[in-house]
């Protein structure tokens, strides 16, 4: 079959790889109909996170069940399914508590499993014609048959639950004000989730014009950090700071924001959130980051203004999102017509055009805010 294979920094190609097979009685094989490119893929694509050449990328997958092992009971051939990016067993202590991003079975000790991602287990990615899904009863979310809402459902594997998770970590409640740093696909989903949860005012901070426009379209106030002092502006407008904040940028801000000093979004958030507020961190930070601009950052150490954080009595939650914990409810909001996360999807492209799609998404080009590949 054809698949998107990582070759080295800024180099992915569509190549022939062996077809996946059922390896365990609990596996399913899924024929992929939609597989999105994620900002997380760009960490490897840009060479910031060191990945082995030969990896098949793709953790935002959905498709049609092609075959199932003898132990799979809840899905069968022909079912349309979304596949949460976390590969999880469903029966370990963490999965049982809903913390499927920290499954203890698939990739001990609780570092989490994912498709097509370095350091997250041996699972091949789904930017390909077919995908093997372990523990299929747990890792498939069934969808209504047909092809309705394909782009909406394609957001269920990762970014919609991840954006929602950010607002859950920050405990966004009705009527609150929220600032989301980063209006990439994940930040936009956090903005959207905050609005779904009843936030009264949401600020979206970025510097990419069409991303800020998308945030504005769904009801956020855009703040361009390249021309404005974002924390200062938001604190002034909210007379003392927002109730809740979200970091949807992560460690790449230290290299990508184009400022002279490496940007540390967490410090911007500490400045932006009012005393006793809370911050949800879904932007990625790594313990080892060879591509970081400084020796400290290369070992995952950032200079966080802890004094200010403590003085303000802030709370913070972080981590990979437990997509499984939210995707059923988010699916049902889509089915009911109450959520339309596909507003972030700017393009569908054939799998064969993956190299171009990666390059353009990586440059944050206008019209490439989120790309879904179609095998
Ligand atoms: P992205 O790279 O497309 O978006 C990041 C955005 O942040 C860009 O639009 C960029 O212009 C903006 N930005 C850069 N520096 C900034 C700064 N100083 N202030 C404000 N904005 C700034 O990526 P994405 O797909 O939206 O993903 C965002 C982050 O979320 C990535 O780190 C990704 O790895 C992570 N992620 C985490 C999870 C999880 O489970 N926790 C899941 C998916 C993605
Ligand atoms: Zn993703």
Rg (CA), the chain: 20
Same-fold call for 2-157+324-374 versus 159-318: no
Per-residue pLDDT of the chain (375 residues; tens, 9 = 90+): 999 999 999 999 999 999 999 999 999 999 999 999 999 999 899 988 888 999 999 999 999 999 999 999 999 999 999 999 999 999 999 999 999 999 999 976 667 899 999 888 899 999 999 999 999 999 999 999 999 999 999 999 999 999 999 999 999 999 999 999 999 999 999 999 999 999 999 999 999 999 999 999 999 999 999 999 999 999 999 999 999 999 999 887 755 544 555 578 999 999 999 999 999 999 998 887 776 667 777 787 888 899 999 999 999 999 999 999 999 999 999 999 999 999 999 889 999 999 999 999 999 898 898 999 999
| Phi and psi torsions of 19, nearest 5° | -65, 140
Residue extents of the structural domains in the chain: 2-157+324-374, 159-318
> Measured in angstroms, how far is the CA atom of residue 40 from the centroid of ligand 1?
8
User: Under CATH, to which class is 2-157+324-374 assigned?
Assistant: alpha beta
ipTM confidence score = 0.99
> Measured in angstroms, how far is the CA atom of residue 185 from the centroid of ligand 2?
9
> Measured in angstroms, how far is the CA atom of residue 252 from the centroid of ligand 1?
8
Which residues does 70 contact at the CB level (< 8 Å), separation at least 6? Answer: 25
Q: Which ligand is nearest to the CA of 208?
A: 1
Residue 206: CB within 6 Å of ligand 1? Answer: yes
For ligand 1, what atom is nearest to the CA of residue 284?
32
| Phi and psi torsions of 66, nearest 5° | -100, -40
Kind and range of the H or E element at 136?
helix 136-139
Number of separate helices (H) and strands (E) present in the chain: 14, 17
Residue 250: CB within 6 Å of ligand 1? Answer: yes
Which of left, alpha, beta for 245 (phi over 0: left; psi -120 to 50: alpha)? beta
Kindly report the CATH number that applies to the domain delimited by 159-318. 3.40.50.720
């Amino acid at each position: 079959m054809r698949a998107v294979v990582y070759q080295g920094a800024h180099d992915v190609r569509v190549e022939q790889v062996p077809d996946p097979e059922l390896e365990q009685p609990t596996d399913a094989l899924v024929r992929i109909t939609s597989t999105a490119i994620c900002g997380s893929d760009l960490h490897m694509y840009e060479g910031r996170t060191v990945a082995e050449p030969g990896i098949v990328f793709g953790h935002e997958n959905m498709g049609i069940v092609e075959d199932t092992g003898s132990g799979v009971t809840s899905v069968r051939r022909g079912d349309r399914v979304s596949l949460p990016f976390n590969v999880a067993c469903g029966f370990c202590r963490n999965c049982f508590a809903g913390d499927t991003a920290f499954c203890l079975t698939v990739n001990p000790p609780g570092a989490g499993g994912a498709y097509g991602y370095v350091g997250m287990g041996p699972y091949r990615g789904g930017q390909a014609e077919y995908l093997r899904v372990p523990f299929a009863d747990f890792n498939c979310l069934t969808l209504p048959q047909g092809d309705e809402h394909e782009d909406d459902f394609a957001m269920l594997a990762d970014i919609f639950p991840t954006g929602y998770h950010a607002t859950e970590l920050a405990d966004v409640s009705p009527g609150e004000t929220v600032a989301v740093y980063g209006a990439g696909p994940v930040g936009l989903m956090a903005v959207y989730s905050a609005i779904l949860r009843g936030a009264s005012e949401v600020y979206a901070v970025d510097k990419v014009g069409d991303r800020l426009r998308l945030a504005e379209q769904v009801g956020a106030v855009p703040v361009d950090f390249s021309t404005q002092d974002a924390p200062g502006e938001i604190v002034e407008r909210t007379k003392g700071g927002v109730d809740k904040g979200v970091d949807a940028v992560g460690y790449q801000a230290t290299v990508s924001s184009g400022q002279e000093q490496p940007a540390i979004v967490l410090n911007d958030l500490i400045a932006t959130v009012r005393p006793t507020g809370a911050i949800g961190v879904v932007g990625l930070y790594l313990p080892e980051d060879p591509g970081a601009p400084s020796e400290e950052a290369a070992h995952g150490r950032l200079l966080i203004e802890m004094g200010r954080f403590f003085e303000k009595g802030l709370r913070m939650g972080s981590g990979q999102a437990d997509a499984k914990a939210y995707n059923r409810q988010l699916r049902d909001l889509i089915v009911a017509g109450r959520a339309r996360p596909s507003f972030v999807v700017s393009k569908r492209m054939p799998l064969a055009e993956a190299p171009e799609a990666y390059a353009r998404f990586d440059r944050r080009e206008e019209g490439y805010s989120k790309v879904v590949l179609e095998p």
